[in-house]
Amino acid sequence: MFQIINLSKKIDNFFLNDISLKLEKGDYCAVIGISGAGKSVLLELIAGLLKPDKGHIILNGIDITQAKIQKRSVGILFQDYALFPHMTAFQNIEYPLINKGLAKKDRQTLVQNIAKNFDIFNILNRKPSTLSGGEQQRVSLARTLITNPDILLLDEPLSSLDILLKNELIPLLRNINRKGQTIIHVTHAYEEVISLANKVAIIENGKLIQEGTPADVFRNPLSKFTANLSGIKNFFEVSVIKNNKNENIALIDNKIEILFLSDYNVTTGYIVIDSSDIILSDKPLKSSALNNFEGLITDIIPSTLGIEISVDIGVIIYANITATSFNKMNLKRGDKIYICFKSSSIKFYMK
């Protein structure tokens, strides 16, 4: 439904090189990369704010590579919302409808409807400078979505927000996506999108180095950058239950129980265990850590962070240890090993 084929663009010393990506309707694709990796250039190429040197952008079977920005059915939510400061919230949301040539009455109805959906009906007469961060966010989203774009592009929408606003926006984005909106979300922080995206693309130095489902990409990192996304290899979809002490237990594949700390009252989610937080021991270890498992070493691979040990405890858990520790323990494939990690070291993400 949406496809980028061999897209390239050179700007001064930066070169976005041969990017190809394919999305189906309703996909939520996270494009992850550090600042300067080319994420924003990619968004601007898709939106039509920049023209590529080479390659094609196909939307619903039509080549829109050279199409005018105004004819693209692509909406962007800018990092700081880019609300027009001299217009009210109403005028901001109405702006794209005037561009489409809609009659005043139709515009009013549409703006009022979307304002009700986004819970901003009461602030329509206010200027952006008088709105809270959360309200500005919703006005900006309403303005972008009122023309029903086929693709919604998000330019690091969460990175400058405090935790409260993040917790407001994430469910909102999830709901929009569940209604069938295709979304491309660029970010430098994988934590932002881990619970939202069903596709992940890693971009580095202007090149798309890996893409796939979050589990595929994070468990099989093809680059130092992906591997360095802290401990992301231990990424699991879990169901959440409570034990008799009312503590949270994450169940992996309905069999591995992992104790974790969380204030959320939910039944499903994702957990990430940083591979550097896992302690290996050749004997059962008495420690304060509440998560203790016995397993077999299935693989030993030198990694950028030291030595990566894969341990099968029913699922594969990856632990990173230094070369010194590795030599001291004299570990081999097939060895029995004990692993432990603290419940507080587990990052939990809502689904």
Partner 1 sequence: MNKVSRFHLLLIFLGGLVLLFIIAPLAGLFFNTSPKDISDSITDKEVSKSIWLTLLSAMAATLFFSMLAIPLAYILAKKSFPLKRLVNGIIDLPIVIPHSAAGIAILGVISQQSFLGSSLSKLGLNLVGHPVGISLAMAFVSIPFLINAAREGFASVPDRLEKAALTLGASQMRVFFTISLPLAWRGIISGLVMMFARGMSEFGAVIIIAYHPMITPILIFERFNAFGLKYARPVAVLFIIVCLLFFIMMRLLTKEKKNVSNN
Q: Which residues bind partner 1 (CB under 8 A)?
A: 44, 47-49, 69-70, 74-76, 78, 80, 82-86, 95-96, 99-100, 128-129, 143-144, 147
- Are the C-beta atoms of 152 and 182 separated by less than 8 Å? yes
Closest approach, Cβ 65 to partner 1, in A, equals 16
Instruction: Name which of 144 and 210 has its Cβ closer to partner 1.
Output: 144
Closest approach, Cβ 20 to partner 1, in A, equals 23
Instruction: Name which of 114 and 272 has its Cβ closer to partner 1.
Output: 114
Please report the beta strands in the chain, taking only residues with DSSP state E, as ranges in sequence order: 2-11, 14-23, 28-32, 54-59, 62-63, 74-77, 151-155, 182-187, 199-204, 207-212, 235-242, 248-252, 256-260, 268-273, 279-281, 291-303, 306-312, 316-321, 336-341, 346-350
Q: What is the DSSP letter of 129?
A: G
Q: Determine the 3-state secondary structure of 182 from DSSP.
A: strand
Closest approach, Cβ 40 to partner 1, in A, equals 10
Instruction: Name which of 75 and 231 has its Cβ closer to partner 1.
Output: 75
Closest approach, Cβ 63 to partner 1, in A, equals 19
Backbone angles phi, psi at 69, to 5 degrees: -55, -45
Closest approach, Cβ 302 to partner 1, in A, equals 44
Instruction: Name which of 44 and 308 has its Cβ closer to partner 1.
Output: 44
As a whole number of Å, the end-to-end CA separation of the chain is: 25
- Are the C-beta atoms of 179 and 190 separated by less than 8 Å? no
| Structure-token match 């061999």, residue found | 6
Residues 6 or more apart whose CB falls under 8 angstroms from that of 62 comprise none
Instruction: Name which of 49 and 241 has its Cβ closer to partner 1.
Output: 49
Closest approach, Cβ 118 to partner 1, in A, equals 16
Instruction: Name which of 59 and 311 has its Cβ closer to partner 1.
Output: 59
